């Protein structure tokens, strides 16, 4: 008797799952059929500043981060790298980006004052 109750319960739950999975699949197809690609932003788009605070990050990470930011399709933006007195290895990573007109590097030599001069 107990086995038949478990069987009926598992069959009922399986049927319920199948009904909801079918509904979800059908809803996904209908929704994607009406999908339209997003228009590119107009040239009159607002000017955006991307601020990147950096302190002793590896050069590989800095290059990947700046490549991702420069690779954006947004028409009007600038990138400001705020370096908080990093070590010389981190400073050498900025040399490749100094000539890029969208990237501005602001370097602070010391971390003095309350909370590191924040």
Is 41 a member of any domain? no
CA distance 77 to 79: 7
Specify if 22 maps to a domain. yes
Please tell me whether residues 71 and 105 are part of one structural domain: yes
In a domain, 66, yes or no: yes
Report yes or no on 19 lying in a domain.
Answer: yes
pLDDT higher than 90, residue 108 = no
Contact residues for 31 (Cβ-Cβ < 8 A; gap 6+): none
Burial category of 66 from C-beta neighbours within 10 Å (exposed 0-12, middle 13-18, buried 19 and up)? buried
CA 60 – CA 44 distance, rounded (Å): 34
Q: How confident is the model at residue 36 (pLDDT cuts 50, 70, 90)?
A: confident
Query: Is 4 contained in some domain?
Result: yes
Q: Given pLDDT bands bounded at 50, 70 and 90, which one contains residue 109?
A: confident
The pTM assigned to this predicted structure is: 0.60
The overall average pLDDT reported for the chain is: 87
Dig out the tokens for 63 from the structure: 């290059």
Note down the domain range covering 74: 48-111
When pLDDT is averaged across residues 97-116 and rounded to a whole number, the result is: 84
Residues 21 and 60 in one domain: no
Are 98 and 68 in a shared domain? yes
């Amino acid at each position: 008797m107990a086995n038949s109750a478990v069987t009926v319960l598992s069959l009922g739950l399986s049927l319920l799952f199948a009904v909801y999975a079918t509904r979800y699949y059908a809803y996904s197809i209908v929704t994607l059929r009406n999908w339209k690609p997003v228009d590119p932003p107009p040239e009159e788009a607002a000017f955006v500043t991307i601020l990147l605070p950096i302190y002793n990050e590896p050069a590989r990470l800095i290059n990947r981060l700046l490549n991702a930011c420069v690779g954006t399709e947004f028409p009007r933006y600038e990138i400001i790298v705020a370096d908080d007195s990093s070590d010389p290895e981190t400073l050498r990573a900025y040399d490749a980006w100094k000539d890029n007109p969208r990237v501005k590097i602001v370097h602070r030599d010391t971390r003095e004052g309350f909370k590191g001069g924040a």
